[in-house]
Structure 1
Amino acid sequence: MRASDAERERVAETLREAVAEGRLEMDEFEQRLDATFKARTHGELVPLVRDLPVPGAVTARKGSSAGWPARIGGEPTSSGAFAFWGGFSRKGRWTVGRQFTAVAIWGGGEIDLREAHFAERDVVIRCYTIMGGMQVTVPPDLNVQVRGFGIMGGFGEHSKLDEEPEPDPESPRVRVTGFALMGGVGVERKRSRAEKRRLRERLEDPDAGDGRKELG
């Protein structure tokens, strides 16, 4: 879809707020701003502010992953993975497609959604493993449903968190399906290193940034 002048200006305003709050360095701000006014389609604008909050937005509540709405939308960077006598890994900053299919045969795979973006709000991740293993790691507040089954193996969800948070209503809805034949697929809720650091800082200073509204 072609982008309008008003859409480009809204993106530019988001970038100005981000650099004023210290979220962007000046050189990156200038690069994104230049790309904003050169953009011709909506798809070119979305990646420029995908990792930034909307100006004036309220920060995420305690224990949640910040900025879920900003992490939904955009073109998928990966729609599947395959491992045969080896392994695969999808982690860090990547965009999950509406359907993501992973297959591991006599091998293993890692799917980490803690820093991922999502092309759409509803996502299906299909995991199939034969004599292998697959690990799906999700943030604590992601809305996840596990519907797979194991044959001479296991397919299930587990958590090592001391406290189970409620799913964030603004998070994507992820459904993990598939089967494990003589192998296993595990879905684990786990905090990222950045979130663990924020929790430690909050324990050291309980009054620091606990659900307050950002300035700007």
Structure 2
Amino acid sequence: MQLPDEPARRMRVSDADREQVAEILRSAAGEGRIDTDELDERLEAAYDAKTVADLVPLTDDLPATPPYAQPVPARHVSPVTSVGEPTHQRGVAIMSGFERSGDWLVPSELTVTAVMGGADIDVRRARFSAPEVVITVNAIMGGAQITVNPTTRVVVEGIGIMGGFSGPRDDSEVAPGAPTVRVRGFALWGGVGVVRRPLD
């Protein structure tokens, strides 16, 4: 495979370039071409990459892939990874914080309790364990922010008591086949917000 010339290899890469390589790596892992340990190592290297030369070795041994990343489409859709059995995880923030971000597997059910504390849940680079995941946030004098891709479908069903739940109203960028994030729970003197934001 012909590699980019020296000036191209020195070119700085964007977050979109890194994300494209990450998608190639995840697909390769799903096909059994690389194992999970190698996937984790290559993903870490992809997100740390500064130049095209840093990205070249991560995909050049995989079939039908470019020697370096190309920009991803604007309509990035988070991948859904089937895990068989439904998964349920819990998070607690009592006068403290709970945070999830980066490349992680969103369980089919995630329950977070925030008491005089806060939760920051970012699923933009995450993989989803099911086409629809449920995030239940119970906030008492606390709050939570959930950040999703512009293409992700969002359903907000929470109950606010001297508090509130808020979410995006415009679904114009939601992509066919995109996962759904369903947000439930209650907020007592607290707030839970869902925002759509492109990858940085």
TM-score (norm 1): 0.58
Map of 1:62-211 to 2, 5 A cutoff? Answer: 63-66=74-77, 68-69=78-79, 71-74=80-83, 79-158=89-168, 165-193=172-200
Question: What is the identity percentage for the equivalent residue pairs of Structure 1 and Structure 2?
Answer: 39
Map of 1:22-37 to 2, 5 A cutoff? Answer: 25-26=56-57
- The answer to whether the 8 Å contact 1:80/1:100 transfers is yes
Alignment match, 1:210: none
Detail structure 1 runs of 4+ shifted over 6 Å in the superposition.
Answer: 27-30, 75-78
In structure 2, the gaps of 5 or more residues are 1-28, 35-52
C-alpha distance in 2, partners of 1:12/1:166?
Answer: 33
Shift of 1:26: 3.7
C-alpha distance in 2, partners of 1:27/1:55?
Answer: 13
- The answer to whether the 8 Å contact 1:78/1:96 transfers is no
SS at match of 2:113: strand
- The answer to whether the 8 Å contact 1:129/1:181 transfers is yes
| 2:33 partner amino acid | A
- The answer to whether the 8 Å contact 2:108/2:130 transfers is yes
Alignment match, 1:50: none
RMSD: 3.9
Matched, 1:12 2:21: no
How many residues are matched? 152
| 2:196 partner amino acid | R
